[in-house]
Amino acid sequence: MAQFQAVKGAKDIFPDEIVRWHYIEGVIRSVTSLYGFSEIRTPAFEYTELFQRGIGSTTDIVGKEMFSFLPDPNGRSITLRPEMTAGVMRAFLQKNPGGGVPVHKLFYIADLFRKERPQAGRQRQFTQFGAELIGVANPAAVVEAVSLMMQVFDTLGLHGLRLRINSLGDLEDRMRYREELRSYLEPYRNDLDEASRERFEKNPMRILDSKNPAVQEIVAGAPKLLDCIKPEGRQEFEKVLGYLSDRQIAFEVDHLLVRGLDYYGHTAFEVVSPELGAQDAIGGGGRYDALSKELGSSAEIPAVGFAVGMERLIITMEKQGLFATLSPHGPQVFIVLQDAGLEDHAMRIADRLRRSGIMTETDLAGRSMKAQMREANRLLAGFALFVGQDEVASGSYTLRNLRTSEQVALELDAIPGVLHESSKP
């Protein structure tokens, strides 16, 4: 075993897997642009208070999952970002203290860090793709976010995903509901597991999404949050559901859906994948109007967004066989050298071909011609270009198509044109 291993919960991604990432990222970039979203990149760390204020101090993330450190003995604590929304809102408020243009549509693909117990589909460093629509409270904006997420899934060919949706009402609704829920759960307190007993005091709504079957049985009879929501909130939710039906996006209203972050209010949603085990959520999001004020804005800025876990997306796509047609592509041409004395000549040819836009490989290891041919095949090169004393003397080079074994003799100037022509679909 190598002396050093990657840190527990962190993974290396090698070129054979990176083709999948590039493919998915390409789909994300093209679908987000159809909806008018632009990319934002924010720092990998932020001041710890940002997450304490933004995500909420009773949440699992802030309570026990943050990687925080002091940059210097007298410095302010810094945390590796465990999610993106707080950082994006911080960046937005920093850049637009007066509010700026009314609608901002931003997307990101970013690495995140959470000190969770690693298991299948759960890492300590993982990647999310997400989008934030800042500035409008319209139910149409919520549906725009959900549609964007679902269109990415559709374009990737995913099937069998389930969209669960609920309304969390406003803060007042939730305060009222918390008390109702506590009264309902009080008689069962001793039957709850330890995690739920802890949540009973701090954040009882999180008991609703417990994965423990005994707890699930208890909460099945709990009062419904939707019944505590004021008529305006209910109307808004109905409008969201109506728009989703209009667009033929299937959903299930799930009264137990609460989401683990404090900044959500009104519509919240989650997508689960049948292909994932215990960690079955592939993405989720919702409205988070309260976040801006929590981060110091004088007025509440309505916003809605979602985040999708890239690793869980990849696991699901793998299980659904969606990478089958994705073949790695090799160099267009591999320059095969007859003898090492021609190395400088081969380098000049490679340079010329690369400058004309041809993906070119040369032998850097001083291998025999036979070994170079093996390497060209291993790399899935399209062509081999032979460079020997005769070719250099005559100026005519043999180009062999490695799929069909056809050969042609060409002058150097003609080679780029032939290779460009052959790589057309």
Residues lying near ligand AMP in the complex (CB under 6 A): 83, 114, 116, 121-123, 126, 128, 260, 281-284, 307, 309, 311-312
Q: How far is the CB of 131 from ligand AMP (least distance, A)?
A: 12
Q: How far is the CB of 286 from ligand AMP (least distance, A)?
A: 9
- The whole-angstrom separation of Cα 263 and Cα 371 is 60
Q: Can you read off the two tokens belonging to residue 424? A: 């057309």
Q: How far is the CB of 392 from ligand AMP (least distance, A)?
A: 55
Of 237, 243, 316, 240, the closest CA to residue 279 belongs to 316
Whether 296 contacts 284, CB under 8 Å: no
Q: How far is the CB of 112 from ligand AMP (least distance, A)?
A: 7
Q: Which is nearer to ligand AMP, 83 or 361 (CB)?
A: 83
Whether 125 contacts 10, CB under 8 Å: yes
Q: Which is nearer to ligand AMP, 307 or 384 (CB)?
A: 307
Q: Which is nearer to ligand AMP, 174 or 259 (CB)?
A: 259
Edge-to-edge strand list for the sheet holding 281-287: 38-39, 104-113, 125-134, 303-309, 281-287, 265-272, 162-167, 252-253
Residue nearest to ligand AMP (CB): 309
Q: Which is nearer to ligand AMP, 283 or 302 (CB)?
A: 283
Q: Which is nearer to ligand AMP, 302 or 309 (CB)?
A: 309
Q: How far is the CB of 119 from ligand AMP (least distance, A)?
A: 9
Q: Which is nearer to ligand AMP, 306 or 386 (CB)?
A: 306
- The whole-angstrom separation of Cα 264 and Cα 169 is 9
Q: How far is the CB of 85 from ligand AMP (least distance, A)?
A: 8
Q: Spell 122-151 as b/e; 16+ CB within 10 A means b.
A: bbbbbbbbbbbbbbbbbbebbbbbbbbbbb
